Amino acid sequence: MRLPILVLSFFLLISIGFYFLIRNDHYSSAFEADQTCHSELFFKFGSSLESGCDHDLETRQWILYNKIESHQPAKVISRYRY
């Protein structure tokens, strides 16, 4: 009974480790995430005042957002984690 649980746990840990190795949504530094956010801001929205990039220190990411009128929360377009 213990052997199937150990084998399942082993494969689960290997799968989680593999996922974190191959995912591409992390940048090596805050500078890289910042540059990517501002580059996409420029190419997607130009000089629009309704869009911007903001740095979130708690979650270690840059956020590309689009402001919505009438005091509604901004819509998050992309996240750049580092």
Mean pLDDT by 10 residues, the chain (82 residues): 83 79 76 94 88 93 89 90 89
Give dist(CA 25, CA 65) in Å, integer.
17
Provide the pLDDT for residue 25: 67
Give dist(CA 10, CA 12) in Å, integer.
5
Provide the pLDDT for residue 26: 79
Q: What percent of the chain is predicted at pLDDT more than 90?
A: 46
* Kind plus residue range of the DSSP H or E element containing 51: strand 51-56
Provide the pLDDT for residue 38: 94
Provide the pLDDT for residue 71: 80
